[in-house]
Chain A
Amino acid sequence: MNKKPKDVTRRSLLTEGLRGFSLLCVGGFAGRMMEQSQAQRYGWQIDPHKCVMCGYCATRCVLEESAVKCVQSYAMCGYCKLCTGFFDPSPKALNTGAENQLCPTGAIVRTFIEDPYYEYKIDENLCTGCGKCVKWCQAFGNGSLYLQIRHDRCLNCNECSIALACPSEAFQRVPYEEPYLLKGTTSKG
């Protein structure tokens, strides 16, 4: 490159001074921010008591497969034979036939325990977080099925795009170390 002898002009002095000042500012700012990088981290979670099962969780997540999944609070579940979360409102038969199931992806695994009780477990790889089962479990059952953000999947975006769409403002920031708002532990009876 061509090298001209460097003249110190008013302009160059000003530029150099401003550059130095900007670097100092950036450095100071970095220090100030680094201090805050040690503060409490937060993640997103759904408050199950505010959730209205609108179905946006299934479609609004930035992930192809939503990070919101249905979870089962086993301590609250009634283990009903006719589970309103599992079966279609008018099932043809009480078996695991696809036509009888409410879940569009067949993500609820129904296993026999003892007469007349059945365990209902969510297969998270199939669940889309649509909340259909949650709605019916809440309406006619114990409300033991509910939606939670699964943090092994969640990207923890700046601003959760499901939270933006949530009609009932059920999404909130929770401490990163305990990022779940579990149901059943505060059961009213």
Chain B
Amino acid sequence: MIFLVRIAPFLLLLLTGLCAAEDIQRFPPPDFESGYVMPVTTTPPPRAGLLNYVDLAMLFAALSLASYLVIHKRSRQGIFALTVFSLIYFGFYREGCVCSIGAIQNVAFALFHKDIAIPFVVIAFFLLPLIFALYSGRVFCAGVCPLGAIQDIALIRPIRIPGWLLQSLGLIPYLYLGLAVFFAAVGSSFILCEYDPFISFFRISGRLNIIIVGISLLAIGVFVGRPYCLFLCPYGAILRLLSQLSLWKATVSPDECRQCQLCEEACPFGAIYPPTPEEAQPVRKDRKRLVLMCVLFPLLVALGSWSFSLLAPTFSRTHPTVRLAEQISLEDSTQAETYSDASQAFRDLGQSKEVLFNQAQNLRDRFSLGAWIVGAFFGCAVACKLIGLSLSQQRLDYEIDNANCVACGRCFSYCPVELKRRRDIKSSRPAMKDQSIQE
């Protein structure tokens, strides 16, 4: 009987087709006679972030060790071992989060949302590798970054990439950096995390399209050295700039260069440049090109900002508020009978459309301003690259280009001078031991 009573409203609802009203007490809670006490919904507090400080210590230790291995010890084996460790710890154990690349967005988000805190660990993850880059180059890329590590291990059969391709694809990171900061600053999405190609390997789960991108990048990475680092990584773009200022630089040869060209062949990243030819190039032609590029600079900046401003409306649709506002105005204008989930939820709550539309308009304004800035930034990056390329450089020996060098240490063992040094160290060691025994 009770069953029928209970089911009656159930049937009634089915008949009338009414459903999903908010917080309606169809069946009021009973008064219990058995002395039953209603439990309370538990609200467990957030996890303690102790592990974060372990990460921080690990980061500092790994960066210091990488600097030591690259600058002082000059050991490819050591760097490789550290790479494997970082891949296991920062990659597979910590599942690729927190990472310095993603921290760019947190910092950008925090700069534009002053009332929202940014965790201390994230700040440190963003800044520590930068400080190390000012002293010892891109050691972060060499042995700490798990994304770099997974690609470095995949690099089995490196081929040489033509310089023009390397230089032109090397512009993409600036674009990616600009967009990442832009989207994080307006608060629409964190694209670096969303499209991180290797995170699905670390977490052993992920969206299909990202897994496909990750696998194809790794497949390319078997032949082309670190495709993500060279052609996409926005953090690499910052490190690239700072590492040019670094105090201690990794050198191919520990001593005098014999110009054997072996190191240039060995570098999978095209970061070792041959010496410039002896005979002086026609200086006037060089100067002319430089002047031309300097004239091109404002033009490129203007072109960049103009072309990106055309994309502003598309960009603005990445923000959920703008999307919702557009959906609602579309539904209202076409008098749609069925609403989208988001619009239905908004309507059910009875919030003001005016407020929503105003918010959306504010966001659109921010997006169009941001798009101009990103465009100008990218134009500026392209122009700076062109100017940099047309500056004449004098190199007497084979030299490492610190901007492109990820300090992997592959070239060390190709240098005959370095091999001689190692032999000397090896042969002197037993001799010294013998001496000490004799004494």
Contact = CB atoms under 8 A, between A and B. Distances in A.
Interface stretch (B43-51, B284-292, B370-378): B43-51
A182 B118 CA distance: 26
A113 B6 contact: no
Nearest to A37: B120
Interface string B213-242: 000000000000000000000000000001
30 contacts: A18-B245, A26-B134, A30-B127, A34-B120, A37-B123, A39-B118, A40-B117, A42-B116, A43-B46, A50-B346, A62-B97, A71-B42, A74-B39, A74-B41, A78-B27, A119-B39, A121-B39, A140-B26, A143-B23, A150-B44, A151-B47, A152-B44, A152-B46, A155-B97, A168-B342, A169-B342, A173-B116, A179-B46, A182-B41, A184-B41
Interface string A67-79: 0000111111111
Given A43-B46, A156-B46, 20 more contacts: A19-B134, A22-B245, A23-B131, A76-B29, A80-B6, A80-B27, A81-B2, A94-B3, A113-B32, A117-B30, A138-B19, A143-B22, A157-B193, A159-B194, A169-B345, A170-B345, A183-B23, A184-B41, A188-B22, A189-B25
B19 A167 contact: no
A36 B116 CA distance: 8
Interface string B116-131: 1111100100010011
B400 to A, nearest CB: 15
Interface in A154-177: 154-159, 161, 164, 167-170, 173, 176
Contact of A79 (B29, B119, B346): B29
Interface in B100-154: 102, 105-107, 109-110, 114-120, 123, 127, 130-131, 134
Contacts of A186: 23
A82 B342 CA distance: 31
Nearest to A188: B23
Nearest to A155: B97
Contacts of B106: 158
A82 B203 contact: no
Contacts of A62: 95, 97, 203, 205
Contacts of A79: 27, 29-30
Given A167-B342, A180-B43, A158 B105 contact: yes
Interface string B321-341: 000100000000000000011
Nearest to A15: B245
A75 B29 contact: yes
Contacts of B22: 49, 143, 188
Contact of B32 (A114, A138, A158): A114
Nearest to B124: A30
A158 B19 CA distance: 36
B118 A33 contact: yes
A179 B34 CA distance: 34
A188 to B, nearest CB: 5
Contacts of A41: 116-117, 119
Contacts of A125: none
Contacts of B9: 140
Nearest to B206: A62
B13 interface: yes
Contact of A64 (B127, B205, B256): B205
A91 to B, nearest CB: 11
Contacts of A141: 26-27
A75 B41 CA distance: 9
Interface string B16-37: 0001101111111110111010
B279 interface: no
Contacts of B311: none
B3 A22 contact: no
A40 B113 CA distance: 11
B41 A40 contact: no
Contacts of A94: 3
B40 interface: yes
A35 to B, nearest CB: 10
B344 interface: yes
A9 to B, nearest CB: 12
Nearest to A167: B341
A33 B106 CA distance: 11
